[in-house]
Amino acid sequence: MAVGILLVGGFGTRLMPLTKNSPKPMLTVAGLPVTEHQLAMAKRAGITTIVLATSYLSEVFTPYFGDGSRWGMKIMYAVETKPLGTGGAIRNAAKLLPTDQSVVVFNGDVLSSHNLSQQIKEHELNKADVTLHLTAVDDARPYGCVPTDSDGRVTAFLEKMENPITNTINAGCYVFKPSVIETIPLDEVISVERQVFPELVANHGKVFGFIDDSYWLDIGTPKALLKGSIDLVTGAADASALTPDLVHTRTGDSLIMKGAHVDPGAVIDKGSCISHGAVIADGAHISGSIIEAGASIGRDCAIVDSFVAAGAIIENSAQISAAFVTNSEIISIPQ
């Protein structure tokens, strides 16, 4: 048995202006908040007790997730009045959890279909201090890389570099021995990636890598957010959060959630999703885009590769391509 912590307190600056009013993990991908897809992934691995470690716009999470009973889970909240960094947030959230079970920590901006049950199993078999999910990427230069030895033990945490010595990177899902979390100082700003893990490795802690190259995506940039949604809609990524009671129509090329109103004369394609309460008028063409809850798209609009935020209203015949649209602004997405 394991319990979980979801890190959802970051500012999400790379996704401004979408993250002005919504924390990044509450942005919609494939009709649901990123966090809801992650909860489904945790539940599949048998985790039913989770703490959401919140800070920025913390008040947005509780009305949506409540006590978690809608998902058959127990959800609790650890709110940081000032962001404590990833390490400080884990320490703070763990106060709400039992100390006799492995603790799985999820970065709140990752979509992953890796075998979490196996990661937990190997962690426990190895009696590890921490076991990190590592994934191989084509180009590790934008990331720090994490080399392992032939036994799977992590040998270093290397910062970004021009010629990375390996293409395996930290994929943002960790299994901790609870006593290791207790060594992190309380109420201090601490990073797991830059402080806790490198120090553990330097002090010969048992830090293991779990290499799994299943679908993985960090949705922290505008293009990645759209890609993540399309991958869930088209089935490239695991979408088990999309249960039949929530979905009106899913074709493999489009997703329409229950409670959306899509005129029969509209075309929805290229992995687009239309959320609950959104209205799409006759003649509109939505392609490769995310339409959040309650947004309204007028007649004959073309919305291509774009994110239309909750409640935004798009006038008839508007032509929008590669943009974030909120009720007050339209911002181009860098290509």
**Interaction site with ligand GTP (CB under 6 A):** 7-14, 24-25, 53-55, 80, 83-86, 89, 107-109, 220
User: Residue 257: in which H helix or E strand, if any?
Assistant: strand 254-257
Least distance from C-beta 45 to ligand GTP, angstroms? 18
Cis peptide before 185 (omega within 30 of 0): no
Given the complex with ligand GTP, which of 317 and 332 has the nearer CB atom?
332
Of the pair 94, 255, the CB lying nearest ligand GTP is at: 94
Nearer to ligand GTP, 12 or 198 (CB): 12
Rank residues 53 and 181 by Cβ distance to ligand GTP and give the closer one: 53
| Minimum CB–partner distance for residue 64 and ligand GTP (Å) | 16
Q: What is the DSSP string of 69-111?
A: GGGTSEEEEEE-SS--HHHHHHHHHHTTS-SSSEEEEEETTEE
Least distance between ligand GTP and beta carbon 188 (Å):
11
Measure the CA–CA gap between 335 and 332, rounded to whole angstroms. Answer: 9
Within 10 A of 161 (CB to CB), how many other CB atoms are there? 12
Q: How far is the CB of 249 from ligand GTP (least distance, A)?
A: 31
Measure CA 255 to chain center: 19
d(CA 43, CA 112): 13
Beta bridge partners of residue 57, listed in sequence order: 55
- To the nearest whole angstrom, how small is the minimum distance from the Cβ of residue 239 to ligand GTP? 20
Residue 83 or 277 having the CB closest to ligand GTP:
83
